[in-house]
Homo-oligomer: A and B are copies of this chain.
Amino acid sequence: MSMSAHTIDPEFEDIAFTPRQEAVLEHALALLVGGGEKALTTAGLARTANCSKESLYKWFGDRDGLLAAVVAYQANKVHFPPESGATADAETFRTHLVAFATELLAVLFGETSLALNRLSIGQSNRDDNRLGRLLLVRGKHMISARARSLLEAGRHRGLIKFNDAEEAYQVLYGLAVRDVHIRLLLGDTPSEAERDLEAQARVAVDRFYRLFGA
């Protein structure tokens, strides 16, 4: 069942957007971040992006296609840099873990990610869940894969210990994110401490080591 996640999504288009289209999608993203789903109307986007509705429908099919394109486009922009040179040093590995967790929080708590998550969640009972699956496949699964490889590296060097990399990652995720993600999605404003992403990440990694440290 988690296997099905690895099979490429037949879904649709493997995202080859022309520069013009990308510019339009950028405008769409801005509208979404600014005012939520209902702020993104075909007419409105056409107006602010200086394009015609007809082009929108030609490029993206229909409104749902447009939404999917926005999600695919943005999810494609987020790439976790694969672990840099990475000396086997224990201290630098821990630093990498903290950096990963910090980056994770930065992405998840970013306005555009929140807007896209809100959008996908709002549409989660339509169209066989296109948006939600897109976001999961092109977003979470990417990050999770990156995390697993990082953790595996640490285990290989005897720095941490676990049976299931996925499970270990999920614990790290839980320790770092807690309930902040859902609260932000609901429109809550984070506390002062919660805004210091690196500090949060550091504490999370500390606790992670107490659970999985070798």
Binding site for B on A (CB under 8 A): 1-2, 35-39, 117-118, 120-126, 129, 132-133, 135-136, 140, 170-171, 173-179, 181-183, 185-189, 191-192, 207, 210-211
A37 to B, closest residue via Cβ:
B122
Find chain B residues with CB under 8 A from A176 CB: 174
The verdict on A129 contacting B187 (CB below 8 Å), with A122-B37, A124-B36, A210-B210 known, is yes
* With A124-B186, A140-B179 already in contact, 9 other A-B pairs whose C-beta atoms are closer than 8 Å: A36-B124, A36-B125, A118-B121, A118-B122, A124-B185, A125-B187, A173-B174, A174-B177, A175-B175
Q: How many of these chains are in the complex?
A: 2
The 6 closest A-B pairs by CB, nearest first: A174-B174, A122-B122, A132-B187, A132-B186, A36-B125, A129-B187
Q: Is the CB of A183 within 8 A of B121?
A: no
The verdict on A136 contacting B179 (CB below 8 Å), with A36-B126, A121-B122, A124-B118 known, is no
Q: Is the CB of A178 within 8 A of B173?
A: yes
Q: Is the CB of A178 within 8 A of B171?
A: yes
Determine the distance from Cα of A120 to Cα of B118 in the docked complex, in whole angstroms.
10
Find chain B residues with CB under 8 A from A173 CB: 174, 178-179
Residue from B37, B122, B181, B191 in contact with A182 in the complex, judged by beta carbons closer than 8 Å: B181
- Name the residue among A39, A125, A170, A207 with the largest chain B CB count within 10 angstroms: A125
A130 to B, closest residue via Cβ:
B187
Q: Is the CB of A175 within 8 A of B182?
A: no
Find chain B residues with CB under 8 A from A135 CB: 186
Determine the distance from Cα of A186 to Cα of B192 in the docked complex, in whole angstroms.
28
Determine the distance from Cα of A36 to Cα of B173 in the docked complex, in whole angstroms.
28
